[in-house]
């Protein structure tokens, strides 16, 4: 890209343009007559189609295939049209940025906001757990590091607690935040992703395409109300600052050669001779050119601005280190790669500083967690199979054809994106004799993490997420956005390619929705449970995938007990054992989301949950306290429950006689 | 703010005034006497506006990036970071009180705003002298 174009691409204010600006009416008329208006009309049509389809979508229609099974043809059409309109925009050189931005914003709403619009309560049980952590901090002002490892990295929960306290939000007030966190996080990701794309691509259309592709393929779903969602934002911001202002080799190769020669001249005569040799011989010069492969120019900045930006990076380091276990290591890996290959300017101290901060945090602030887990953490190094298995093979052996399709779609989509990005790197080396080191390093740096730690089988998902902004850029390199207008054939190909990715996204991203959505009936059941369950009670379920733990989280006993839910006798034995050991009440919970999770992930038979609930209902040794179509709460007939409520009956709690009367078929 | 002799930008004046007003408003609405008279929604809007935007925006304005979208993104991210780190500090000191955390953030913010004020008027004087 020429320097003139580069200047146009920056956001520097251009003075003196007001006098030459055409009147608003003329501009509107020319806009209506242009191809941009077609793209604008498509955007409006797509939004209307999609928006009108939303009220027709019923969460109860979601099945093993995820949200795809509940969407209407109008929803698909609306989302499909988005790709058409966006491609029509980026195929031409002078399409307006505001329209591309509008497209990306609507895309984010469509893809990430759909669950908030069709579901009544926040989805995904872990959202509720995280609010529970914050509620604990808010109520007690302390951490419970012995209760859960996440308390050893409390940044996100501490901030949420502060927000709850200072804005007077109770647990239920945070629910809109939980529901819309996917959209909010992705809106926050937009600017840094766009900054990264602009800084590392050859023109603005390519950058917009990379940004679009990122949001179209970010299926990992870590952007819920979570520390990793926040830490990923910090990661992106750090990367964006570094590649926008601090790229190491950002001048043309010839200038770089002169710089190296000038630097080596004064210092080391031998180095100078080496530099002369390298840049004189044809082959060594080619190798040097490939090795240097300069990036697009840095954004202009003053020393004080650079110092300020460095302080922001250090602040973000501190926030990442204290918020999330994994993100600092991804950051460290990327930074180390950039420093080693001189892709960021004179920043040798950055990875060292981050490593020291991580080391200090783990050594001093996570003692409670590390005390019982060091051996396990060390043992998992090098077990790559563990990093892959739980998210692929283990799930793939289970239940339905639909579930298998979703698992395979995830594998296919990941492999396709990584493969296309890898081929793009090879193609650029072959055709342009360059290696895009900055992009390649950041795209590849997350992969060694899968060798170091399996993280319960989720590591590969995180690798995909951290690599994606840079993989998207590498995929954008495939398309010749330098030409004034893409050919019709290429335009058609782009539409098909993006539509394929949209389809895969809907399957992969929202494929777990049957497990993740929460119904009013489930939530009301838990509200009832919290109104009666004394602190210290146990909440026993087949799976933890339920909307609970959002109140007094550390004061109850939880646990998924898949194997014990095969027979009520085993379950009863467990409930009795817990009551004898801890003295509280064992509440046995059968919920829609937990039983579906057990069916989908652990091979329980179809409709197993309903049968089990009916069996509990009909047995004499269990008493059902609460029951609706999605939730059943029961206790044993000789449970401590009857002792506790015999002395001080809760106003909402049924007596044993009433409960047994309710059991009539 | 005067940069290279240009006229002060409207947005600069806006933020120079909006920052102290937001600080005062955020402090005031935390007073019990004000809280009882203020609608809860307005109270939350004022508080959230301050907590999520102002501390970061004050620090970002010091950098004079003059790129609105980047400034807003950095302002939100830095605000979250500052509040997060202050809260964590107080929790680890076993002295977590939300109003104390807010007071600490306000102090940092005040210092940053004073620095912003100083830089703005120093540049203004410098430009006047140069002209």
Q: A326-369, pLDDT tens digit by residue?
A: 999 999 999 999 999 888 887 889 999 999 999 999 988 888 77
What's the CA dihedral at A445, A447, A450, A451 to 10 degrees? Answer: -80
Give the closest-approach CA distance of B98 to chain A in angstroms: 6
* CATH code, A554: 3.40.50
Residue A663: pLDDT band (50, 70, 90) is: very low
Any CB–CB contact under 8 A between A15 and chain B? Answer: yes
Give the pLDDT of residue A24.
78
Q: Out of A185-189, A414-418, A522-526, B7-11, pick the least confident.
A: B7-11
Give me the total of CB pairs closer than 8 Å, taking one residue from chain A and one from chain B: 103
- Average pLDDT (A147-174) is 93
Element (H, E) at A591: strand A586-591
- Give φ, ψ of A554 to 5 degrees: -80, -5
Please judge whether B94 and A165 are an interchain contact, meaning their C-beta atoms are less than 8 angstroms apart.
no
Any CB–CB contact under 8 A between A323 and chain B? Answer: yes
Q: Which chain B residues are Cβ-neighbours of A316 within 8 angstroms?
A: 77, 81
Residues above pLDDT 70, as percent of chain A: 87
The answer to whether residue A560 sits within a structural domain is yes
From the list A237, A240, A246, the residue with the least C-alpha distance to A307 is A246
Please judge whether B84 and A316 are an interchain contact, meaning their C-beta atoms are less than 8 angstroms apart.
no
Give the pLDDT of residue A16.
40
From the list B30, B68, B78, which residue is nearest A315 (CB)?
B78
Q: Which chain A residues are Cβ-neighbours of B36 within 8 angstroms?
A: none
Please judge whether B6 and A137 are an interchain contact, meaning their C-beta atoms are less than 8 angstroms apart.
no
Any CB–CB contact under 8 A between A187 and chain B? Answer: no
Residue A581: pLDDT band (50, 70, 90) is: confident
- Average pLDDT (B14-41) is 89
Residue A396: pLDDT band (50, 70, 90) is: very low
Judged by DSSP in three states, A246 sits in coil
- For the ranges A35-49, A139-153, A238-252, A553-567, the one whose mean pLDDT is highest: A35-49
Residue A19: pLDDT band (50, 70, 90) is: very low
In angstroms, the CA A337 to CA A316 distance is 19
Any CB–CB contact under 8 A between B34 and chain A? Answer: no
| Matching residue, tokens 């947005």 | B11
pLDDT at A9 over 90: no
pLDDT at A311 over 60: yes
Please judge whether A13 and B88 are an interchain contact, meaning their C-beta atoms are less than 8 angstroms apart.
no
Please judge whether A166 and B97 are an interchain contact, meaning their C-beta atoms are less than 8 angstroms apart.
no
Please judge whether A316 and B81 are an interchain contact, meaning their C-beta atoms are less than 8 angstroms apart.
yes
- Average pLDDT (A298-315) is 93
- Average pLDDT (A129-157) is 92
For an interface test with B, give the residue of A100, A319, A327 to mutate (most B CBs within 10 A): A319
Give the pLDDT of residue A145.
86
In angstroms, the CA A120 to CA B56 distance is 34
Give the pLDDT of residue A660.
43
| Nearest chain B alpha carbon to A300 | B65
Please judge whether B85 and A13 are an interchain contact, meaning their C-beta atoms are less than 8 angstroms apart.
no
- Average pLDDT (A44-73) is 93
Q: Which chain A residues are Cβ-neighbours of B73 within 8 angstroms?
A: 188, 191-192, 237
Length of chain B (residues): 131
* Inter-CA distances, A586 with A70, A523, A525, A538, A622, Å: 36, 19, 16, 5, 11
Any CB–CB contact under 8 A between A98 and chain B? Answer: no
Residue extents of the structural domains in chain B: 10-130
Give the pLDDT of residue A567.
79
pLDDT at A587 over 70: yes
Please judge whether B70 and A233 are an interchain contact, meaning their C-beta atoms are less than 8 angstroms apart.
no
The answer to whether residue A302 sits within a structural domain is no
From the list A475, A586, A454, A512, the residue with the least C-alpha distance to A212 is A475
From the list B59, B63, B67, which residue is nearest A11 (CB)?
B67
Q: A78-118, pLDDT tens digit by residue?
A: 999 999 999 999 998 888 999 999 999 999 999 999 999 99
Q: Which chain B residues are Cβ-neighbours of A141 within 8 angstroms?
A: 91, 94, 96-97
Mean pLDDT, chain A, whole residue set: 85
Lookup: tokens for A633:
């709460």
Q: Name the more confident of A173 and A16.
A: A173
Lookup: tokens for A57:
């979508």
For an interface test with A, give the residue of B63, B102, B103, B119 to mutate (most A CBs within 10 A): B63
pTM recorded for the entire structure = 0.90
Q: Name the more confident of A376 and A443.
A: A443
Any CB–CB contact under 8 A between A143 and chain B? Answer: yes
Give the closest-approach CA distance of B94 to chain A in angstroms: 7
Judged by DSSP in three states, A486 sits in coil
pLDDT at A22 over 50: yes
For an interface test with A, give the residue of B26, B47, B81, B101 to mutate (most A CBs within 10 A): B81
pLDDT at B131 over 70: no
Residue A15: pLDDT band (50, 70, 90) is: very low
Any CB–CB contact under 8 A between A189 and chain B? Answer: no
Give the closest-approach CA distance of B47 to chain A in angstroms: 6
In angstroms, the CA A8 to CA A409 distance is 40
pLDDT at A64 over 60: yes
Give the pLDDT of residue A376.
65
Any CB–CB contact under 8 A between A104 and chain B? Answer: no
From the list A166, A195, A315, which residue is nearest B102 (CB)?
A166
Mean pLDDT, chain B, whole residue set: 87
Q: Out of A174-188, A643-657, B40-54, pick the least confident.
A: A643-657
- Average pLDDT (A307-312) is 94
| Matching residue, tokens 């570094």 | A242
| Nearest chain B alpha carbon to A233 | B77
Any CB–CB contact under 8 A between A126 and chain B? Answer: no
- Average pLDDT (B74-90) is 96
- DSSP state letters, A514-567: HHH---HHHHHHHHHHHHHPPTT-EEEES-S-SS---SSGGGSEEEE-TGGGG-
Give the pLDDT of residue A457.
64
Q: Name the more confident of A659 and A166.
A: A166
In angstroms, the CA A642 to CA A180 distance is 41
For an interface test with A, give the residue of B22, B91, B95, B105 to mutate (most A CBs within 10 A): B91
Any CB–CB contact under 8 A between A154 and chain B? Answer: yes
Give the pLDDT of residue A20.
60
Q: A492-506, pLDDT tens digit by residue?
A: 999 999 999 999 999
The answer to whether residue A622 sits within a structural domain is yes
The answer to whether residue A586 sits within a structural domain is yes
Any CB–CB contact under 8 A between B64 and chain A? Answer: yes
3-state SS of A255-294? Answer: HHHHHHHHHHHHHCHHHHHHHHHHHHCHHHHHHHHHHHCC
In angstroms, the CA A450 to CA A355 distance is 19
Query: Residues 1..30 of B with a Cβ closer than 8 Å to A: which?
Result: 6, 30
Q: A267-295, pLDDT tens digit by residue?
A: 666 667 777 777 777 788 888 888 888 88
Residue A7: pLDDT band (50, 70, 90) is: very low
- Average pLDDT (A500-525) is 94
Q: B111-125, pLDDT tens digit by residue?
A: 999 999 998 887 766
User: Which structural domain range is residue A643 located in?
Assistant: 519-662
- DSSP state letters, A205-240: HHHHHHHHHHHHH--S---SSSHHHHHHHHHHHHHH
- Give φ, ψ of A626 to 5 degrees: -150, 140
Residues above pLDDT 90, as percent of chain A: 55
From the list A35, A15, A125, A87, the residue with the least C-alpha distance to A597 is A125
- Average pLDDT (A423-451) is 91
From the list A591, A662, A663, the residue with the least C-alpha distance to A630 is A591
For an interface test with B, give the residue of A16, A136, A158 to mutate (most B CBs within 10 A): A158
From the list B63, B68, B98, which residue is nearest A308 (CB)?
B63
Give the pLDDT of residue A346.
77
Residue A397: pLDDT band (50, 70, 90) is: very low
Q: B43-53, pLDDT tens digit by residue?
A: 999 999 999 99
In angstroms, the CA A463 to CA A454 distance is 11
Residue A3: pLDDT band (50, 70, 90) is: very low
| Nearest chain B alpha carbon to A159 | B84
């Amino acid at each position: 890209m020429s320097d003139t174009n580069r200047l146009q691409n920056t956001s520097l204010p251009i003075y003196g343009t007001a006098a030459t600006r055409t009147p608003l009416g003329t501009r509107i008329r020319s806009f209506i007559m242009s191809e941009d208006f077609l793209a604008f009309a498509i955007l409006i049509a797509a939004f209307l189609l999609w928006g009108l389809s939303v009220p027709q979508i019923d969460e109860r229609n979601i099945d093993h295939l995820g949200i795809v099974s509940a969407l209407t043809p109008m929803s698909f059409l609306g989302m499909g049209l988005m790709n058409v309109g966006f491609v029509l925009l980026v195929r031409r050189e002078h399409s307006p940025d505001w329209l591309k931005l509008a497209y990306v914003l609507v895309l984010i709403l469509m893809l990430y906001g759909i669950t908030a619009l069709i579901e009544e309560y926040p989805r995904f049980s872990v959202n509720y757990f995280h609010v529970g952590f914050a509620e604990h901090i808010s109520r007690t002002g302390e951490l419970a590091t012995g209760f859960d490892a996440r308390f050893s990295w409390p940044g996100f929960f501490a901030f949420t607690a502060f927000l709850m306290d200072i804005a007077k939000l109770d647990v239920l007030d945070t629910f809109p935040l939980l529901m819309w966190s996917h959209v909010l996080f992705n809106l926050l990701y937009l600017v840094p992703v766009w900054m990264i794309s602009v800084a590392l691509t050859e023109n603005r259309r390519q950058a917009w395409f990379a940004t679009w592709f990122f949001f179209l393929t970010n299926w990992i779903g870590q952007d819920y109300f979570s520390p990793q969602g926040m830490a990923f934002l910090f990661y992106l911001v750090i990367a964006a600052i570094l590649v926008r202002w601090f790229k190491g080799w950002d001048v043309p190769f010839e200038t770089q050669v002169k710089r190296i020669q000038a630097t080596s001249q004064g210092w080391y005569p031998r180095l100078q001779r080496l530099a002369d040799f390298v840049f004189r011989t044809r082959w060594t010069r080619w190798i040097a050119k490939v090795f240097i492969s300069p990036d697009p120019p840095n954004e202009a900045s003053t020393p004080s601005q650079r110092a300020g930006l460095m302080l922001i990076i250090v602040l973000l380091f501190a926030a990442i280190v204290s918020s999330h276990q994994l993100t600092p290591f991804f950051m460290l890996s990327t930074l180390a790669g950039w420093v080693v290959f001189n892709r960021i300017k004179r920043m040798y101290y950055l990875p060292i500083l981050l490593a020291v901060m991580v080391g200090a945090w783990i050594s001093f602030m996570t003692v409670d967690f590390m005390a019982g887990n060091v051996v396990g953490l060390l043992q998992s190094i090098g077990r790559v199979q563990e990093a892959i298995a739980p998210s692929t093979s283990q799930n793939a052996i289970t239940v339905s054809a639909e579930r298998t399709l979703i698992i395979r779609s995830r594998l296919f989509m990941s492999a396709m994106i990584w493969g296309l990005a890898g081929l793009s790197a090879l193609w650029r080396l072959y055709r342009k004799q360059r290696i895009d080191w900055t992009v390649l390093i950041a795209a590849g740096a997350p992969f060694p993490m899968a060798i170091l730690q399996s993280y319960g089988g989720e590591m590969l998902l995180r690798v995909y997420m951290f690599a994606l902004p840079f993989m998207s850029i590498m995929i954008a390199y495939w398309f010749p956005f330098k030409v004034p207008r893409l050919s019709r054939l290429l335009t058609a190909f782009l539409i098909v390619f993006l539509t394929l990715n949209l389809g895969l996204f809907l399957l992969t991203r929202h494929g777990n929705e049957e497990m993740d959505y929460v119904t009013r009936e489930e939530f009301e059941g838990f509200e009832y449970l919290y109104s009666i369950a004394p602190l210290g009670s146990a909440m026993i379920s087949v799976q933890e995938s339920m909307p609970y733990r959002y109140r007094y989280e550390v004061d109850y006993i939880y646990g998924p007990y898949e194997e014990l839910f095969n027979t009520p006798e085993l379950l009863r034995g467990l409930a009795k054992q817990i009551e004898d050991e801890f003295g509280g009440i064992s509440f046995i919970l059968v919920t829609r989301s937990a039983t579906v999770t057990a069916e989908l992930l652990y091979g329980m038979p179809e409709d197993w949950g309903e049968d089990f609930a009916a069996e509990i209902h009909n047995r004499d040794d269990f008493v059902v306290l609460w029951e609706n179509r999605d939730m059943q709460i029961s206790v044993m007939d000789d449970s401590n429950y009857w002792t506790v409520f015999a002395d001080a009956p809760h106003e909402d709690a049924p007596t044993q006689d009433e409960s047994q009367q309710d059991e009539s078929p | 703010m005067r940069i290279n002799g240009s006229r002060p930008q409207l947005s600069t004046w806006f933020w120079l005034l909006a920052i102290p007003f937001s600080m005062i408003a955020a402090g005031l609405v935390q007073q019990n006497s004000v809280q009882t008279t203020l609608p809860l929604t307005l109270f939350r809007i004022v508080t959230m506006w301050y907590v999520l935007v102002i501390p970061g925006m004050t620090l970002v304005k010091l950098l004079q990036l003059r790129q609105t979208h980047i400034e807003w993104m950095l302002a939100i991210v830095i605000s979250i970071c500052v509040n997060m780190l202050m809260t964590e500090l107080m929790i680890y000191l076993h002295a977590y009180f939300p109003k104390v955390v807010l007071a600490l953030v306000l102090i940092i913010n005040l210092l940053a705003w004073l620095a912003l004020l100083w830089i703005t008027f120093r540049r203004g004087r410098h430009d006047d002298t140069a002209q």
